A and B are shown apart, each in its own frame.
Chain A
Amino acid sequence: MEKRLKMLLMSLFLFVGGAFAQTTVKGTVVSQEDGQPILGASIIIEGTSQGTVTDGEGKFSITMPQGKTKIRVSYIGMETQAVTARNGMVVRLGLDATSIDEIVVTAMGMKKSEKTIGYSAQTLDNEDLVSGHLSNVTSALAGKVAGVQINTTSSDPGQANSVIIRGISSINNNNQPLYVVDGVPLQQTNFSGTQKGQDEFANAVGGISSLNPNDIESMTVLKGAAATALYGSRAANGVIMITTKSGKKQGSKNFQISYDGSVQWRSVSTLPKFQNRFGHGWNGTQTFIENGSWGPELDGSTQVYGPIWNNQQLIHNYSAAEDNIKDFFETGVSTSHSVSLNGVSNDNKTTYYLSYSYTSDDGIIPGDKDNYKRNTIAYRGSYEATDWLKLSSSINMSNSKTNTVGTYQGTSMIDGILEFPRDLSLVDRKDLSSAFNTPEAWYTPYGITNPYWAIENNWNHNEAKQVFGKIQADINPIRQLTLTYRFGFDYTDYDHKLGVPEIALDDALINEDYGYAPSNMNQAGYVSTQYLRKYELNHDFLANWQDKYLDDKLDVNVMLGVNMSERYQTYSRNQTDGLTFGTGFWDLSNGATKTEIMENQYKRRAVGIFGDITLGWDEMVYLDLTARRDYSSTLPLEKNSYFYPGATVSWIFTKLIPKNDILTFGKVRMAYGKTGNDAGVYQVYPRYVQAYSNGYYANDLTKFPFAGVNSFQAAATCGSTDLKPEMTTEFEVGLNLAFFNNRINIDASYYNRNTDDQIFTLPVDPSTGYGFMVTNFGKVNNKGIELLVNTVPVQTKNFRWELGFNFSKNKNKVVSMPESLDGGMVNVNQFSAGNDAIYMRAVEGLPMGELFTYLPQYTADGKMIVGADGQPLLTDEVQDTGKNVNADWTGGINTSLSAYGFTLSASLDIRKGGYMFSRTRNLMQFTGNGEVTLYNGRNPFIIPNSVYADGSENISPIYLNNSSFQNYFNDYGYGLGGEAYLIDRSFVKLRNITLAYTLPKSLVSKIYLSDVTVSVFANNLFTWTHKGNKYIDPEASSFGNDLEGMFGELYSNPACRNFGFNVGVKF
């Protein structure tokens, strides 16, 4: 818009040039706020259509026709002034208090004035995004954008975030938004690894995670289907549009150099609440080798523990080592540096922006074992070759390296920690040259090991590279028409290597193993690699017509476009077993047998044809109509296209009421839109895979080629030749109000979204021949409200207090399911261990993600029914707990106080309601390490208010010494059944608090700088959780970053808080 306006005005200037030359007036336009010159302000001679624009120094020169003395000076976002033209004049433009006139970059890179749009779009500028100095910029959205839910998969460096806009609507497709950088869609690769059940993690690779946050000018979240229809299928979950910085003239200089650097420290913020009363043992007895604290009461005596190795045994003080776990973790340090150079050429025809950044993040795990390093380099430039042709391009490169400490059951660090007895000391077990600190003579042989040994000997390394950018040409053959061709590309690859060490013990030096030899935890060890390359190519052809008609009252903007895209991926996974070097040499040559050599490729293409018409009347009413037809390679060939329209209306009703001091601005808006979505690749035709079979624990128990023979079997998922595209339909109404000259701004939305015919991989009874069947599935509804209130309670010359609130409530419901399902439910994710099971389901009539488990049974008068052994009699089938993973509401409070160059800002993030699965909670019960296991002082008890199935009173006590006390906790969830795995997800987090100081301009200019800012900040300083959650940070997730990830956590590493300081210098 800005550019077009400029073009328009320039052309106006061209055809009036020199005609009625009378007086030439020269002047400067500056900002009232900071005195900086304004580039591109428009100067119109009152009563004519003649005008000009200011140059990079804010200067203009205009020739006044005879009889004309007044000019109108305007600039987007500033108050227009009508002044008498005088030579040498300085026009000071103030911020426009009468309209909310932020520029929003909408679909296809179109810039629109926010007041004209009829749907919800929220923009964050660079300052909002970088104040927390988070290496992954999406983290900065948390608590700031209404209706957007951010979940960090973990506090480990380099981990992925989940971003969900307006609730979950897709059951097993992606619910993540589309990221578009300067008009180029990016592939978001969230790389999660689960191999042989050994590793659970989600690294963010490529996509937005490799953007330098300091390169971002602004980020706009487009929430509704109407906003996203032009991006096609992939925008069904919303779009996050990112505009990066470009070269600009800075005051009198035509270039600027900036530096931004920060250092931060992180420490553990959340650990389970441990008990400190009972020590190492099982069933109330000291056992020397068990992995848990079910032993006798701690008495301070000196005790031996662990196996006798080489005639030695460890002793310790049988008393609580209270801060044992906390002390294990260290303070992580991370640093980041970012330098950029940007500017414009002297003739204003060339702009350039060049930046480099380096981020290094070492987490809380001892040593340099969990870390993330990223280098980015970016270049953007534009060149106005002629007055009708502009070329621009951008290229961004990044290279990231992540070392992750895997979280899984067994020899992982975290399992070693959570099951560690309360009375042993962990921090003095670092010396791995001692057999007692390695699996050889570790205190327990039951599958878990020394966390220090685990982090030293397991290897999980990922290196990713990404190159993305665009080449664009804009042609203006005539004034009203812009033709654009844009080639966008995104190339990502990663090399991931996992090394699991061999444990090959012979027990030769073990004199006494107390019943279970350490060699029982021998493991073969393996090296596994995953290599991936993927690219996405986009060609966009756009034609844009813009003009004003009917006395400039009718604003017309028409766009037509074609998009062609191709996505390709090739992936290889290899594994070798039978290690020659048991640890430390992580190469595929290190194995005696190759057990996996696997490749996988996919390619998909889509063509979209779309159009958009925006009509504006008198800057008061706007109508926007969009339509798109997509052709996709992933749908059955004969039915591979689908059409979807959208329409929005907005009405700035304050144009009709007299200007007043109370209601400054008011707009109502209404939007209706559809977004179609295609299928995943290869979900249509039958597929076969190389044959394999599984055992109970082991995958690929037998695997082909087998004994020199190869074989294939039907793939587990059955495709469908009847697939239809899925369709999301959204209706939205909204209201924007500004009071008291923008001291209070309100943005409210209501939306109602239906997702029909979802393409769903339905789990089916295997007697159909398949475990899963691709099908069009039912209907999911999300409706909700979003409210955003920004206020400026106090503003004086030197003091400003801003206070903002956001609130959103989303109601989610599975409206209908396929008829073939009969029972009407589907498991989305689950956990089962032994006889316990927690299911996260989609059930007709209930919110998505309802949690099911085995529950105790009660008599009509509320007594718990127990079996002959006095333990709760759990149901045969899993039951609806009435709990689900969705939050009741979320909200945030942001505030900032500025005075004399100081700014103190803080943001609070609130989530109320919703439940999650927590393996950590269960482990606290299983191991006896959790506070909850102190029930009744571990003395015998009969379950209160319980009866046998025949109704007679329960007289069977539960004892510690016959394992029934432990069973009560481990098998019966201490009377809660499977609900003992669930925790309330509510939290209030002090996300960020920052104190920044901007040095006075007078001071910095003396040292030839234009801007110096220093700040100190803290992230996630405090987290308040539900009183029932004594275990984990409720944002933790171990199941990736989508709907499945909302299920909860399995052995997640602890959450962190960060502190740091930052220096920003602009030259």
Chain B
Amino acid sequence: MKKLAIISTIILGFAATSCDSYLDINQDPNSPAEGNMTTDILMPGAEMNLAASYGDFLRITGGYFAQHYAQTFGTSNYLDYSQFTMSATRSSSTYTQLNSRTLKNLETIRTLAKDKKEWGTYLAATTLRAFTYQVLVDCYGELPYSEAFTTGNTSPKYDQGKDIYAGILKELDEALANVQASDRVATNFLLPGASADSWIQLANAVKLKIMMREMDAVPEVATTVGKLITENNFPTEDVAWQGCWKNESGSMSPFYAEEFSTAWGSNQINVIANAAIINTMEQYDGAGVLVYSDPRLPKFFEANASNEYTGGISGTNFSTSTNYKSTYWCRPVASFDMPVYLITVSEIEFFIAEYYARQNDATQAQTHYDAAIIASCNSAGVAADAAKVIAQFPYNQANWKQAIGISKWVALAGVNNFEAWCEVRRLDYPAFGTVKGSDMYDMNNDASYKPQLLQPGTLYTPIQVENKVGDNKLIARWPYAESSSARNGNAPAFPGYTSPIFWDK
């Protein structure tokens, strides 16, 4: 019995005294320590998550919803987008990516940068954060902002889009107030090697984009926009992730990687040009003679097997057609190293033109409108032919919304399709014409394919349009992402596909 007592005492004593060090092994050896994190380590990952969403999912959905894109023969991966449908689950992983990977890590970068007074990096992170929040508002209308990224709060409240816009503008101003043009910016691929001066220009462009988009809803921003334009410190080149892509999986430009490469197993063709954009970029007269061919068209879309530009019809995949097979259609021009544009000079110029148009300054408006088209042609590598485009789509102060709306929609068709969906919702141009998708194609009858019925510069109701969108309307917003709505008790009820975002007056 004594022996037992001694043994037990030894065992228990050993267990009790050395327990703490014996058990202190719960730090993940596969994770770097939190204390070793720097802005340089975090920034490239955060920005690439934005590039991956903006350059791929948002490009695809924007393209379908702006009727740049239609669905090719036979496959049906995005047929629902072409019918103006978006489900809570379809957008969920993008919502998750932009929040938990882009914004979360940008938030950590901002905290680190603030602590260490890295104001260049602070501005860069704030600019990307503002850009990301704007994109999310433009998709969903409302989302958590003021209570987001707060430890312990698993149900952050949803903020109104208008308040988020105001919040990110304030953040940009704060970041701009602290920065010096020569400040260093953490490692990144968007403006590699650049000091804060380039980021100040980008921040100004993002501010312009935010305020112009809310111009109808918050007209008082006009004064600030005026000052910003007078300052005229915007990027002079397109801001894009480019030159960093490689032709191997994990390093390709995102849209190409997912829709064109074979890196993720069997890959199907989905995205083709839509009749709406083709009819606008390639126009025929009543006799069927080609009267206008946009120089950017071959840069945006590949000609089909017969070297023609053809446009698919929203809402169908021609599945039983005998004439309109996949080789009949035109796919977007894509390559492993295609840039992912964050904001282009053309977009900036269109916004400036719009500002002057609203001020009734037709001269300045026209100057910047033309500059926008020139910049667009320049991005496409066809700068020499810009005059031809301007002649076809001349500025018109009397109906500036139509002029800017259509030209911008065309300019974005090969660049930033997501922005096109936003701007069509806001400017209401291109408008819906009198022709419907079902007038242009009946899947029982190949002879019924008549895209020429569609007026250039107009949109149309897709075949089998989503019941909840209906005729002559765009999908105005997305259902709140499932990763939020199913997990957050504060998520509001979905106001419906046709309920406009706050800026969509």
Contacts and interface: CB of A to CB of B under 8 A. Distances in A.
Interface residues of B, number: 121
B48 A702 contact: yes
Contacts of B254: 693, 695, 701-702
A713 B99 CA distance: 12
Given A601-B30, A706-B250, A765-B488, A637 B263 contact: no
Contact of A283 (B19, B105, B154, B320): B320
Contact of B484 (A709, A712, A767, A826): A767
A687 B32 CA distance: 7
Contacts of A562: 11-12, 15
Nearest to A949: B467
A817 to B, nearest CB: 10
B479 A771 contact: no
Nearest to A197: B265
B288 interface: no
B464 interface: yes
Interface string B72-105: 0111000010000101111001111101110111
B486 A703 contact: no
B51 to A, nearest CB: 7
A694 interface: yes
A631 B21 CA distance: 12
B487 to A, nearest CB: 5
Contact of B8 (A560, A766, A962): A560
B174 interface: no
Contacts of A766: 95-96, 99-100, 104, 483-484
Contact of A765 (B34, B74, B484): B484
Interface string A856-883: 0000000000011101010011100000
Contacts of A290: 74, 319
Contacts of B1: 478, 481
A712 B52 contact: no
B365 interface: no
- Identify the interface centre among A281, A478, A701: most chain B CB within 10 Å of its CB: A701
B327 to A, nearest CB: 7
Contacts of A711: 41-46, 48
A748 interface: no
A826 B154 CA distance: 13
A441 B45 CA distance: 42
Interface stretch (B215-223, B241-249, B356-364): B241-249
Nearest to A698: B264
Contact of B31 (A688, A704, A839): A688
Interface in B246-305: 246, 248-251, 254, 257-258, 261-269
B263 A768 contact: no
A702 B51 contact: yes
A769 B149 contact: yes
Interface in A678-696: 681-682, 684-689, 691-696
Given A605-B22, A822-B490, A837-B482, A517 B327 contact: yes
A446 B269 CA distance: 10
Interface stretch (A71-79, A115-123, A141-149, A592-600): A592-600
A599 B30 contact: yes
B195 interface: no
Contacts of B48: 691, 693, 702, 704, 706, 711
Nearest to B486: A827
A339 interface: no
B23 interface: yes
A871 B57 contact: no
Contacts of B263: 524, 577, 698
A282 interface: yes
A88 interface: no
Given A706-B48, A712-B32, A503 B266 contact: yes
Nearest to A703: B250
Contact of B319 (A283, A410, A521, A693): A283
Given A577-B263, A711-B41, A713-B45, A764 B74 contact: no
Contact of B487 (A281, A765, A876): A765
Contacts of B22: 605, 607, 633
Contact of A282 (B52, B101, B320): B320
Contacts of B324: 515
A192 interface: no
A693 B244 CA distance: 15
A289 B486 CA distance: 40
A778 interface: no
B15 A693 contact: no
Contact of A634 (B26, B45, B143, B154): B26
A566 B108 CA distance: 35
B325 interface: yes
A979 to B, nearest CB: 17
A697 interface: yes
A599 B28 CA distance: 12
Given A197-B265, A446-B268, A763-B487, A637 B20 contact: yes
Contacts of B384: none
Interface in A658-692: 681-682, 684-689, 691-692
A879 to B, nearest CB: 12
Interface string B154-187: 1110000000000000000000000000000001
B304 to A, nearest CB: 12
Contacts of A124: none
B439 interface: no
A290 B7 CA distance: 76
A1024 interface: no
Given A631-B19, A637-B20, A693-B101, A601 B29 contact: yes
B132 to A, nearest CB: 11
Interface in B485-502: 485-491, 493-494, 496
Contacts of B130: none
Contacts of A689: 30-31
B231 interface: no
Interface string A800-842: 0000000000000000001011111111001010110101000
B326 interface: yes
Contacts of B489: 821-824
B325 A684 contact: no
Contact of A515 (B41, B97, B250, B321): B321
Nearest to A560: B8
A523 interface: yes
Contact of A607 (B23, B30, B150, B153): B23
A702 B258 contact: no
- Identify the interface centre among B48, B88, B326, B493: most chain A CB within 10 Å of its CB: B48
A541 interface: yes
Contact of B248 (A517, A577, A637, A830): A577
A543 B155 CA distance: 51
B89 A771 contact: no
A696 B153 contact: no
A206 to B, nearest CB: 22
A691 B30 contact: no
B97 A694 contact: yes
Given A711-B43, A765-B483, A702 B251 contact: yes
Contacts of A604: 25-26
6 contacts: A283-B320, A446-B75, A695-B57, A762-B154, A768-B154, A835-B89
Interface of B: 1, 3-4, 7-8, 11-12, 15, 19-20, 22-32, 34, 37, 41-46, 48-49, 51-53, 56-57, 60, 73-75, 80, 85, 87-90, 93-97, 99-101, 103-105, 107-108, 143-145, 148-150, 153-156, 187, 189, 244-246, 248-251, 254, 257-258, 261-269, 316, 319-322, 324-328, 442-444, 464, 467-468, 470, 479, 482-491, 493-494, 496
The 7 closest A-B pairs by CB, nearest first: A822-B489, A515-B325, A691-B45, A867-B467, A703-B250, A823-B489, A693-B52
Given A516-B74, A764-B488, 12 more contacts: A411-B266, A520-B326, A521-B266, A524-B265, A564-B15, A689-B31, A695-B258, A765-B144, A771-B100, A835-B89, A867-B468, A868-B467
